[in-house]
């Protein structure tokens, strides 16, 4: 994760409270900024970091994000209302694990459930898949307040016109009635069952994506799983989490207070004393080490690293899989020392 100062190349209004922001990525940085659909970049605005998913297919060679002004959200409001073309922002290279395998030679069905600005990574996934997979069936179930609050409506229309056999966008509105009652209201458990009965055959689904608020993710991911899709084919992206670090760490008497930790980052080895009062990211920042992080809450995966010696305690997270744990992976932002000697590698992930 490296930050570069990038100029704003274009700002395109999507709805009254959302915009698409395109960065001018110089050709020399194209490789560093290469990404897989579903990944995000992190903005660092005066020390505050926020993640925004890339909304373009990598084939377009454009680096754009979709931003919706959140109530009380200083950064998102600034980006939507005050940012100008030509301004510069500190932008990280792309990150993230909300991605699906590309299978250009297969006939497959993909389904995506999303709400509001959760559509942003789905836009990149859908466009790339449509560009590269001739036989794909891509269903998007997209919840908004009304037809005026649909982000990327024009682009969704264009893609539907270009790929009428492959893309199927189903709009659900919570505050505007539509003729078919199935499309009225958000997608809860009952609505999900109706969708399965009337709109898709779950037995044909190969990958399922869910991107939106936490409640929607957990409800739908569980339902999709119960309907027969195994965990590794269900992908979700949380925007925020309610888990607070202080809820995560239970102090026990016998835990070590201070440890020596050896950290490998960008090919360099550093050693310092890590006090368990702090998570590993904050401990590194205290020692002027340019630690990779964004959410600091076990959500985004920017801080993923490998414990190569010793053990850490890790809090609850929605990122690491069973095989990550087996490989010794951890998230530095929710890790505290467990053993007296530790070695952590940020490069080997």
Number of H helices, E strands in the chain: 8, 18
Number of residues that bind ligand FES (CB under 6 A): 13
CA 256-301-281 angle, 5° bins: 40
Q: Which range in 59-67, 162-170, 261-269, 294-302 contacts ligand FES by CB under 6 A?
A: 294-302
What is the rounded end-to-end Cα distance, in angstroms, of the chain?
A: 12
Q: Is 99 exposed, middle or buried (0-12, 13-18, 19+ CB in 10 A)?
A: middle
Count Cα atoms within 13 angstroms, Cβ side, for 212.
Answer: 23
Q: Residue count of the chain, please give it.
A: 349
Cα distance between residue 164 and residue 266, in whole Å: 46
SS3 318: coil
DSSP-derived letter for residue 184 is B
Least CB distance to ligand FES at residue 329 (A): 11
Least CB distance to ligand FES at residue 237 (A): 12
If one asks whether residue 296 binds ligand FES (CB under 6 A), the answer comes out as yes
SS3 98: coil
Among 42, 153, 301, 330, binds ligand FES (CB under 6 A): 301
- The tokens describing 91, both together, are 């932008």
Among 123, 220, 299, 344, binds ligand FES (CB under 6 A): 299
Among 37, 96, 298, 337, binds ligand FES (CB under 6 A): 298
Taking the least distance from each CB to ligand FES, the nearer of 221 and 291 is 291
On whether the CB atoms of residues 111 and 200 are closer than 8 A, the answer is yes
β pairing state of 341-345 and 329-331: unpaired
Taking the least distance from each CB to ligand FES, the nearer of 118 and 297 is 297
Name residues contacting ligand FES, limited to 309-348 (CB under 6 A): 319, 331, 333
Q: Which range in 75-83, 269-277, 282-290, 300-308 contacts ligand FES by CB under 6 A?
A: 300-308
Taking the least distance from each CB to ligand FES, the nearer of 54 and 333 is 333
If one asks whether residue 216 binds ligand FES (CB under 6 A), the answer comes out as no
Least CB distance to ligand FES at residue 92 (A): 11
Among 205, 295, 307, 312, binds ligand FES (CB under 6 A): 295
Q: Which range in 182-190, 247-255, 262-270, 292-300 contacts ligand FES by CB under 6 A?
A: 292-300
Instruction: For 46-127, list the strands marked E by DSSP.
Output: 48-53, 63-68, 88-92, 109-115
On whether the CB atoms of residues 38 and 124 are closer than 8 A, the answer is yes
On whether the CB atoms of residues 237 and 115 are closer than 8 A, the answer is no
On whether the CB atoms of residues 9 and 25 are closer than 8 A, the answer is no
- The tokens describing 273, both together, are 């004393």
If one asks whether residue 300 binds ligand FES (CB under 6 A), the answer comes out as yes
If one asks whether residue 42 binds ligand FES (CB under 6 A), the answer comes out as no
Q: Which range in 124-132, 198-206, 256-264, 290-298 contacts ligand FES by CB under 6 A?
A: 290-298
Among 109, 117, 302, 330, binds ligand FES (CB under 6 A): 302
Least CB distance to ligand FES at residue 32 (A): 20
Least CB distance to ligand FES at residue 102 (A): 25
On whether the CB atoms of residues 329 and 312 are closer than 8 A, the answer is no
Cα distance between residue 152 and residue 144, in whole Å: 12
If one asks whether residue 243 binds ligand FES (CB under 6 A), the answer comes out as no
Least CB distance to ligand FES at residue 87 (A): 26
Least CB distance to ligand FES at residue 40 (A): 11
- What is the contact surface with ligand FES in residues (CB under 6 A)? 293-296, 298-303, 319, 331, 333
């Amino acid at each position: 994760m490296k930050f570069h100062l990038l100029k704003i190349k274009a700002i395109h209004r999507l709805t009254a409270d959302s915009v698409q922001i395109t960065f001018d990525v110089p050709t020399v940085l194209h490789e560093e900024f290469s990404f897989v659909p579903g990944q995000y970049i992190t903005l660092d605005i005066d020390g505050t970091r926020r993640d925004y998913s890339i909304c373009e297919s990598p084939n377009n060679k454009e680096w754009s994000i979709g931003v919706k002004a959140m109530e009380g959200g200083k950064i998102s409001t600034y980006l939507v209302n005050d940012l100008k073309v030509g301004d510069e922002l500190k932008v990280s290279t792309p990150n993230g694990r909300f991605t699906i395998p590309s299978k250009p030679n297969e006939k497959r069905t993909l389904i995506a459930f999303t709400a509001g600005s959760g559509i942003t990574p789905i836009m990149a996934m859908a466009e790339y898949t449509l560009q590269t997979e001739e036989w794909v069936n891509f269903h998007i179930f997209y919840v908004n307040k009304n037809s005026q609050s649909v982000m990327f409506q024009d682009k969704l229309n264009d893609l539907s016109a270009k790929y009428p056999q492959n893309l199927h966008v189903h709009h659900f509105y919570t505050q505007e009635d539509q003729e078919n009652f199935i499309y009225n209201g958000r997608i809860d458990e009952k609505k999900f069952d109706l969708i399965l009965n009337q709109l898709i055959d779950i037995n044909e689904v190969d990958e399922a994506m869910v991107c939106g608020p936490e409640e929607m993710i957990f409800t739908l991911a569980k339902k999709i799983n119960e309907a027969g899709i195994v965990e590794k084919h269900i992908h979700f992206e949380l925007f925020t989490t309610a888990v607070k670090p202080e809820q995560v760490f239970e102090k026990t008497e016998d835990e070590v207070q201070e440890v020596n930790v050896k950290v490998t980052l960008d090919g360099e080895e550093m050693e310092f004393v890590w006090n368990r009062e702090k998570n590993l990211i904050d401990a590194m920042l205290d020692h002027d080490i340019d630690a990779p992080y964004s959410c600091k809450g076990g959500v985004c995966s920017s801080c993923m690293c490998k414990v190569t010696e010793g053990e850490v305690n890790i809090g609850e997270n929605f990122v690491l899989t069973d095989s990550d744990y087996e490989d010794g992976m951890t998230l530095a932002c929710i890790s505290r020392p467990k053993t007296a000697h530790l070695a952590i590698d940020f490069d080997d992930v």
